[in-house]
Structure 1
Amino acid sequence: MESNRDEALKCLAIAQKHRNAGNFPSARRFCQKSLSLFSTAEALKLLDVIDSEASSESVSSSASSSSAAGSSSGSAPFTSSAEAHPSASGTRQRHTGLGADSSKADKKTGGSSAGESSGTQKKREYTPEHAAVVKRVRSCKVTEYYEILEVKKDCEEVEIKKAYRKLALALHPDKNGAPGADEAFKLVSKAFQVLSDPQKRAAYDQHGSDPEDRFGGIFEGELSPEDLFNMFFGGGMGGAAFGGQPMFTATFGPGGFRTTRVRTNVRPERQETQSRSIFVQLLPLFLLFAFSLLNALPTLFGSTSTPDPRFAFVPSPRYNVERYTGGLGVKYHVNSAEFSGHPIAAELARNENKPGPELRRFEGTVERAYTQDLYAKCQRGLDVKQRKKELETGMFGFGTDWEKVRKIDEEVVESCEQLRNMGLLK
């Protein structure tokens, strides 16, 4: 995950210090921790260097101990360099890809020396289970992120993290030497980066493609036609229909214009009540749209030359200054150095820390990103509840435990509650 990159680089620096000091086990441990946080080419290269230097040191120490044993009366048992290596006990169980070929080569050469044999065995080790995991992951399309991690589309974030941890350990280049393991590890890491980020996951669920390639700024601009249409007619609010009639949702994405027909079952006696409440339910969305339009007015006749400051909703060493928007009171975080040097900070200084048009426009972008993420989570939560109800009631409702159905209806979807508390959802 991109937010772990800074911590991964810190671990990599610590690993380098331990390596320089000759403490190879500690260097290996911190290097592996860096890779588990965020895989980089530098960490993979350093891990290979550490393994190589540790092996060289083990060979030297073994030779020294062997010489000492020959000259002393009480000789200690000989220990090979492979046994001295920290991962030697595990490597004996692994398939090296050499096997019978190595023994045949020994017979042809009349038995080569141990030094020559250890110098030629450069192939990375793996087990049949490792090869099977690599084959399964690489058989997936590069953007089938749920299939790559073997999780369901409506799964919770904790399941995504659990699946990633399992696959990352199985595919890590230091543990899995099967052909294609590096590529499979990158696919798993990419899937986790997208699905563990709420904004990217929502974009991926909507468009089915890599949000970083095609929709890198989807949460930083104004409301798109698709977002606006779905917010008004139910596409982003649980599929509310008008009077029980078929409802159409539209997609204006790069793939062209698409429509989807959805029919909902609404009892006739409730149609009149729902029609009266439609305007009340949509009123907060009208207000949000009007607020966004007002924020966009200063930029209609000109564009800012400086891009908006980057922000995040979770604090980190990079985003270390906490702020709240002036509209909905959304908490967000910015980089202190970047924000203090931005024209928005200069505007605040001129206005004696009172918000000006540039700050209001920027915080409007922050609020849209936050609320769109909440709408996506609310949608998924309502879908989960609906599926649970359908499983409980069955096709005709015979033998249904209606008390369980009532409890399912009463389950709270946290993201929907947040929208209601902000006045954006009835």
Structure 2
Amino acid sequence: MESNREEAVRCLSIAQKHLSAANYSSARKFAQKSISLFETPEAIRLLASINSAEAAGGPAAASSSSTSSGAEAHPSASGSTHRRTNGSAASGGSGTAGGMGGEQREYTPEQQEVVRRVRACKVTEYYEILAVKRECEDGEIKKAYRKLALALHPDKNGAPGADEAFKLVSKAFQVLSDPQKRSIYDRSGSDPEDRSSGMASAPSAFRSFNGGGGFEGELSPEDLFNMFFGGGGPQFANGGFGGGFGPTVFTTSFGPGGFRTTRMGGGTPRQQQQQGNAEPRSMFIQLLPLIILFAFSILSALPNLFTTPPVPDPLFAWTPTSTYTTERHTGGLGVQFFVDANEIMRHPVIGAELARDGIDWRKLTAERNPAKAGPALTKFERVVDNTYTQKLYTECQAGTDRKMRLKEAEIGVFGIGTDWAKVEKISKEPIPSCDELRALGLLRS
């Protein structure tokens, strides 16, 4: 489509830069992206040049050196060119001090110490690589990366291993600056890329920094460096770091092309106004399920608002205490229990019923049925009977299980050498709770 032409041209320009730096894989990737967006003869010819250059063994490195003299080189491209030139010279055998060929790269003891410290860390010790604490804020991570990236960039630091140290720092920043990846890393302690295959990643031609502090897609160490210090890397908005996408996105490229500005997104003021008018309605639609759920909760609770809560039964005990001194017996099973007579007479239901019948438990003896019990007292005594029988069932089951364990322990596995008289004695041991249940007719013999 014609709308993709501008982006295709941008990808083609990036591919040319990678080709000049002898980075054939990246050059091929951007060339293919350019063709997929908008096919042009230039992109097809460039893709063929990339394939032939890679097959020939690196003539593009020489062309990179010749083109760099005509115009100011891109920072990341020049770093790649120097590294490639040194490697090529070393393979050619024309070495200088230290066995390295080509241009001598200078460095200071301080730069060498930074390289040594970073490379001494494990590849997944991201906090140690950036020299920050695990609980540090995003701003501290960005500040640490700025400092280390300037100290380790191959264009500024010629110490052995500076390239690898720079990549370690860039990888650490790429993980810790992304809240989701940082959370995964804090939990697992391993590279989150191994566990985030389901995360959405943008195409390489659209790598960008979002306003939430994370990176969409994958970024190379050169791209990260360029985001902080300028260059032809990813696009960033509003001329600031982490500012989010705005109406204008600036991409910079050094050389004959100068600065290039591309407008994308943002929308017109009228569109923004329409979006602002639609926001309240959209918010209401999003909250509608919660509103309905809240309304149903209120409606379901309405019946309870107009009903009287049940009155709890009086407390009682099976043995007399300083509080429960009044002895009574139920009218059903005749179970003995003890209550606080004052509490019974103050009870809003049972006490009112007894007062209506002219009965005062505070003046009664331990007779079983001093008078005919009313409905409320009958219900209370039924609760006492049920509680008592449940207690007996629990004790009876526990006693039966105990006898079974004793018999099994005495008999053993095969019964060899068993004292059967002792087994018989265990079987005949009485269980008082079971005997009482039989007396009440609640348990068969």
Q: TM-score, normalised by structure 1?
A: 0.30
When Rg is computed on C-alpha atoms for both structures, the one with the higher figure is 2
Query: Relative contact order (alpha carbons < 8 A, sep ≥ 6): 1 or 2 greater?
Result: 1
Q: TM-score, normalised by structure 2?
A: 0.28
